Amino acid sequence: MATTETTRVVLVTGGMGGLGEIISTKMVDAGYQVAVTYSPGNATHGDWVAQMKRKGYAIVAVPCDVTDIDSCANAVAQVADKLGPVDVLVNNAGITRDMTFKKMDKVNWDAVLRTNLDSLFNMTKQVADGMVERNWGRVINVSSVNGSKGAFGQANYSAAKAGVHGFTKALALEVAKKGVTVNTISPGYIGTKMVTAIPQEVLDSKILPNIPVGRLGKPEEVAGLIIYLASEEAAFVTGANIAINGGQHMQ
């Protein structure tokens, strides 16, 4: 990897579990300096950092409530103090609160919109100006196949994930001439702990038949796409929504 890339600082929100952990470790493997955020109430973060260090991954972890802009500012300041300014932001943090619209209340609507969409503003606001000033930056927003095609029982989640790409396109236009790219990736069903916990009979009868390649995606495949978008070679890719769903939904 080029010297200019090995010194880049990456911040992955929600980087301690599932897909986020694989993104973080693979970016370390690719030569980046990596920091992750964790929920302030997560008492196991120290154990996670120690475990990663034993595996050879020196990852910085900072507390951050992505729904709170002041918390985001504090988190980015901590990363800058420990590693330097953020060059690559991966907006990965997200939650689900699935239920039919008939049963959905304002609390569960707000929780998903604040975590999955408002967080993009809260986090990106802290790093975008610095990227523009340095004439280099990457903002990579993790959406979902369900933001493109919708999903039963996910009016909140689908709305938030669709909004992710609207944010991507508008910001990409504003910063394109300053060497900063902004892109969306939209994973389908990926073999994380959350997805593999689905009963096998449901996977076999309801999910896998709708995926033309006939399997779940691998977290490493998503991480590989993010590593590409963070690279020098991806400088001409901006405002894109890249589907990574095994052909489940084609745009």
Active site residues: 157
The C-alpha R_g of the chain, in whole angstroms, comes to: 17
Q: Which residues contact 43 (CB under 8 A, 6 or more apart)?
A: none
Q: Which among 197, 117, 192 has a CA at the least distance from the CA of 159?
A: 117
Note whether 99 and 158 are within 8 A (CB): no
| SS3 state at 12 | strand
Q: Distance between CA atoms of 168 and 171, rounded to whole angstroms?
A: 5
Q: Distance between CA atoms of 156 and 41, rounded to whole angstroms?
A: 24
* Maximal CA-CA distance, the chain: 54
